């Protein structure tokens, strides 16, 4: 009976995925890591290459956990229930979901720097997404490169 009590939550986690981007605490930790990163050591990579690195085995990508810099066109942005902001950018046929804290709120929409169809450069800590997530990775603790 105890085995069944443990098995159900484990199966639920596997089916829904364990996306690292949904946690406000995780994002705060990633934000600190990104802000302290040596900019000369941040890997500038195309979103397509980053996406392809996660296609075969989402956790085995060499970029999992690393700080990367990507650029692309803003196609969407939103506020999560946890008070985190997501900005989805596109490069070619690939997209990246970038997770920010509330420091980006004054830069979103209208004629501000982060609006639909604007081109931006973002640095963030790369993490594999959940098993059934629509994106193979997320960038957490993101910041816009000015």
3-state helix, strand, coil in the chain (%, to 5): 35, 35, 35
Residue 44 belongs to some domain of the structure: yes
What pLDDT is stored for residue 58 in this prediction? 54
Q: What is the pTM of this model?
A: 0.80
Quick: pLDDT tens for 105-139. Answer: 999 998 899 999 999 999 999 998 866 677 889 99
Instruction: Give the whole-number percent of the chain exceeding pLDDT 70.
Output: 80
Given a cut of 70, whether residue 89 has pLDDT beyond it is yes
Q: How far apart are CA 26 and CA 36, in angstroms?
A: 16
Residue 2 belongs to some domain of the structure: no
Asked whether the beta carbons of 63 and 126 are under 8 A apart, the reply is yes
Residue 110 belongs to some domain of the structure: yes
* Full domain range(s) for residue 62: 17-144
Q: How many domains does the chain have?
A: 1
Longest dimension (CA), the chain: 59
Quick: pLDDT tens for 55-66. Answer: 866 557 889 999
How many beta carbons lie within 10 A of that of residue 56, not counting itself?
9
- The SS3 of residue 80 is coil
Residue 70 belongs to some domain of the structure: yes
Asked whether the beta carbons of 124 and 105 are under 8 A apart, the reply is no
Residue 5 belongs to some domain of the structure: no
Given a cut of 50, whether residue 48 has pLDDT beyond it is yes
What pLDDT is stored for residue 10 in this prediction? 36
Residue 1 belongs to some domain of the structure: no
């Amino acid at each position: 009976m105890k085995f069944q009590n443990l098995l159900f939550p484990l199966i639920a986690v596997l089916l829904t995925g364990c996306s690292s981007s949904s946690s406000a605490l995780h994002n705060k930790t990633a934000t600190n890591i990104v802000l302290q990163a040596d900019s000369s050591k941040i890997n500038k990579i195309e979103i397509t290459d980053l996406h392809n690195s996660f296609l075969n085995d989402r956790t085995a990508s060499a970029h999992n956990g690393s700080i990367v810099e990507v650029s692309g066109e803003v196609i969407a942005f939103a506020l999560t229930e946890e008070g985190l902001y997501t900005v989805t950018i596109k490069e070619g046929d690939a997209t990246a979901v970038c997770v920010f804290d509330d420091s980006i709120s004054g830069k979103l929409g209208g004629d501000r720097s982060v609006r639909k169809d604007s081109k931006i450069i973002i640095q963030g800590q790369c993490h594999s997404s959940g098993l059934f997530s629509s994106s193979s990775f997320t960038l957490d603790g993101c910041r816009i490169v000015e």
